[in-house]
């Protein structure tokens, strides 16, 4: 076991994947000598060369379009979009080409493209650098959307994403890049079943009274809230979704059938978000065990604010605890 940051763990996972398969290539703005804005690709150019770690022009549509063509010729491109808010120039390529080619070709064509995206807020950035656009992509069939919350998952899930034949949007919570954790770097990697494994939710904390569902950057917030709950006599179970699409509905429903209460926490605006989808599924599959309506805790339905206001905009421990109070009174 080694202690790593999330950024360092993803770097180690990329290195493992590149050592394993010479068809794995990295593409993106400033990912070479700079090592990316957050240094996630640091050192990989030196070790693998410019043919496999490629700096690209500032043209997101061109990056994804090129990756689509390369994947059709047998390569496994891993693209980096510098910031979440910069992904929209590539939205057409991702949603109308990358996501649909397998279906359009009746399964004859696979596009094993991974798109790494630092996403969400909490770092005091300027406009268009703190978006949470996951629901826009989750609405498009044909994409896998995953997000690690721990260094161990960052290390393993990036390898799993690269190994799958499906296109994967790999959302990296940028405010958690410097969080440290233990990583088993010598764990054997098994490609078979990897796509299913990275889509399986995990129980981050066991509890009996209320289920708190989170993913990516809000897992830490949910765990902090659960710790406060314990001091107040409430036992909260925290589910780390890992995958947004496909959703591990079964794991959430199992937990809710035990606790009878459910809260969903995400940084994206609450209306029309992933939390709404989870609330609908829980209502459909666990309605008769619910002791209270499913509660959602998210950002407000406004554009992302100036950095001095972001901590009022984002879900906080206090807002999660307020939701716990609301569902526990029923």
Q: Tell me the catalytic residues.
A: 129
Indicate the DSSP class of residue 189: P
Q: Is 53 helix (H, G, I), strand (E, B) or coil?
A: strand
As a dihedral over the C-alpha atoms of residue 218, residue 239, residue 272, residue 276, rounded to 10 degrees, the angle is -150
Residue 298 to residues 22, 58, 74, 266: CA-CA distances in angstroms?
41, 32, 40, 5
Residue 252 to residues 117, 203, 255, 290: CA-CA distances in angstroms?
25, 9, 5, 13
Residue 205: count of CB within 10 angstroms of its CB: 18
Nearest CA among 87, 234, 230, 242 for reference residue 156: 242
The H-or-E segment that residue 245 falls in is: strand 243-245
The distance from CA 249 to its chain's CA centroid, rounded to whole angstroms, is 16
Q: Phi, psi (5° rounding) for residue 223? A: -65, -40
- Are 224 and 319 a contacting pair, CB within 8 Å? no
Report the alpha-carbon distance of residue 113 to residue 74 in Å, rounded: 11
Q: Phi, psi (5° rounding) for residue 261? A: -140, 150
Q: How many residues belong to the chain?
A: 330
Residue-wise burial string across 103-138, b where 16 or more C-beta atoms lie within 10 A, e elsewhere: eeeeeeeebbbbbbbbbbbbeebeeebbbbbbbbbb
Indicate the DSSP class of residue 260: S
Residue 122 is encoded by which pair of tokens?
């909490």
Q: Read out DSSP for 198-244? A: HTS-EEEE--SSEEEEE-TTHHHHHHHHHHHHHHTT--EEEEE--EE
């Amino acid at each position: 076991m080694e202690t790593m940051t999330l950024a360092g763990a993803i770097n180690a996972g990329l290195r493992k994947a590149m050592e394993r398969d010479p068809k794995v290539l990295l593409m993106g703005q400033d990912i070479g000598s700079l090592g990316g804005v957050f240094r996630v690709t640091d050192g990989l150019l030196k070790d693998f060369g410019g043919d496999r770690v490629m700096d690209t022009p500032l043209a997101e549509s061109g990056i994804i379009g090129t990756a689509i063509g390369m994947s059709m010729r047998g390569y496994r491109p891993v693209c980096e979009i510098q910031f979440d808010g910069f992904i929209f120039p590539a939205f057409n390529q991702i949603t109308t080409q990358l996501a649909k080619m397998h279906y359009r070709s009746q399964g004859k064509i696979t596009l094993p493209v991974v798109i790494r995206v630092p996403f969400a807020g909490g770092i005091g950035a300027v406009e268009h650098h703190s978006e949470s656009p996951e629901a826009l992509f989750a609405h498009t069939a044909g994409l896998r959307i995953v997000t690690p919350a721990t260094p161990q998952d960052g290390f393993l899930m990036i390898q799993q994403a690269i190994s799958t034949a499906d296109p994967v949007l790999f959302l990296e919570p940028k405010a958690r890049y410097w969080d440290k954790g233990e990583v088993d770097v010598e764990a054997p990697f098994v490609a078979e079943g990897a796509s299913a494994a990275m889509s399986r939710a995990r129980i981050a904390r066991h509890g009996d009274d209320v289920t708190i569902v989170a993913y990516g950057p809000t897992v830490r917030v949910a765990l902090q809230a659960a710790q406060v709950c314990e001091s107040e006599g409430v036992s909260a179970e925290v589910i780390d979704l890992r995958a947004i699409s496909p959703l591990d509905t079964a794991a959430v429903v199992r937990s809710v059938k035990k606790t009878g209460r459910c809260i969903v926490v995400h940084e994206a605006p609450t209306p029309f978000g992933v939390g709404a989808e989870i609330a609908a599924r829980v209502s459909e599959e666990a309605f008769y065990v619910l002791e209270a309506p499913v509660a959602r805790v998210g950002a407000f339905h406004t554009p992302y604010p100036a950095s001095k206001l972001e901590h009022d905009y984002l879900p906080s421990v206090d807002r999660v605890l307020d939701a716990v109070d609301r569902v526990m009174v029923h």
